[in-house]
Amino acid sequence: MRSHAAVATAGTHEPWTVHAALLGAQTGFALFPIFGKLALVTIPAMVLAAYRVAAAALLLEGARRLARARELEPADRKAVLLYGVLGVSLNQVLFILGLSLTTAINTTILTATIPIFTLAVAVLMGREKMSRRAGIGMALAAAGAFWLLNIHRFDWHSRSMRGNLLLLANALSYSFYLVLSRPILARYSVLTIVSRVFLFGALPILAVASPFVVAFRPASVTPLSWLSLSAVILVCTVLPYALNSWALARTHASRVAFYVFVQPVIASALAVSVLGETLNARTVSAAVLIFAGLAVSLVKGRLPARPVP
């Protein structure tokens, strides 16, 4: 493992391979709303969630065994079970259900609130101190989220409104996972924790989704949806996680977090060109507010790296 000094040096003068890995990871994350939308055309949301977490859990467990990463101590299993519920069970279901109800553009914009929510949760739990800069960043991001939700015209019957709220709940759930799981990462390898988080988190999803999976008729799924599902698992989950983890070991977390700004550019362009979605003044102005808040908060590098959706 590289020393802290080596990582610090790398954070100042990163080789092009680090930037390429970060760009590749964020591209994979940005593609998830696009491939997810294409898969959801003929695959029900709960079935998609079940397939994704089951496949990811199996692949991560295989990687853990190949790397010979150590197992969890029995005393830590209850804590990691909680992390699995927050970081996978709720996160995956809320994200995919939200995506099924709203646009891919809204999805990528609201997902960018995760670092802001994470800082807010850390402050509330006494893990971080509130600074003026962090407060301004939170206020800007909150204003952007409320503006996108069109909260003064709240309508629960609106599919888009429900989807946007589910995505914000997804961001909050994942933020609690990031803050709560940070201490245990000091005692285990990332692969050990993430593989177990996916394993424990997949179980509740599979239990809830089992009636949908039983009623699912694979023959009704189009080749494009099957291809998109494969891309969601490999291109949007396994590959970005591997690239992000590789880069995080070689540069600062703030540098990794900075690449969050790549996501809305790629995702919005593809949502318009591939899915036929349209940008409007509210979407653009909300995105500007949210990413301005993220930028203000990132100046001192206090936010964690962008996680896998």
Burial of 251 (0-12, 13-18, 19+ CB in 10 A): buried
Contact in structure between 257 and 303 (CB atoms under 8 Å): yes
Quote the pLDDT of residue 43. Answer: 95
Query: How many CB atoms neighbour CB 301 within 10 A?
Result: 14
Quote the pLDDT of residue 115. Answer: 79
Place of tokens 């301004």: 136
Quote the pLDDT of residue 253. Answer: 55
Quote the pLDDT of residue 4. Answer: 40
Quote the pLDDT of residue 256. Answer: 64
Helices (H), 85-131: 91-101, 104-111, 114-124
- What tokens were used for 175? 């933020």
Quote the pLDDT of residue 240. Answer: 84
Q: Report the C-alpha gap between 75 and 203 in whole angstroms.
A: 20
Quote the pLDDT of residue 126. Answer: 82
- What tokens were used for 112? 């960018």
Quote the pLDDT of residue 257. Answer: 61
Return the closest-CA partner of residue 112 out of 291, 281, 297, 248. 291
Angle at alpha carbon of residue 48, lines to 82 and 247, rounded to 5°: 65
Quote the pLDDT of residue 3. Answer: 40
Quote the pLDDT of residue 1. Answer: 40
Quote the pLDDT of residue 207. Answer: 94
Question: At 274, is the secondary structure helix, strand, or coil?
Answer: coil
| Helix, strand, coil share (%) of the chain residues, nearest 5 | 80, 0, 20
pLDDT along the chain (309 residues), means of 10: 41 72 88 93 94 90 88 91 93 92 88 82 81 83 82 70 92 88 80 88 94 94 95 88 71 64 82 87 87 75 47
Backbone φ and ψ of 276, nearest 5°: 75, 20
Contact in structure between 42 and 220 (CB atoms under 8 Å): yes
Q: How far is CA 108 from the centre of its chain?
A: 10
pTM: 0.78
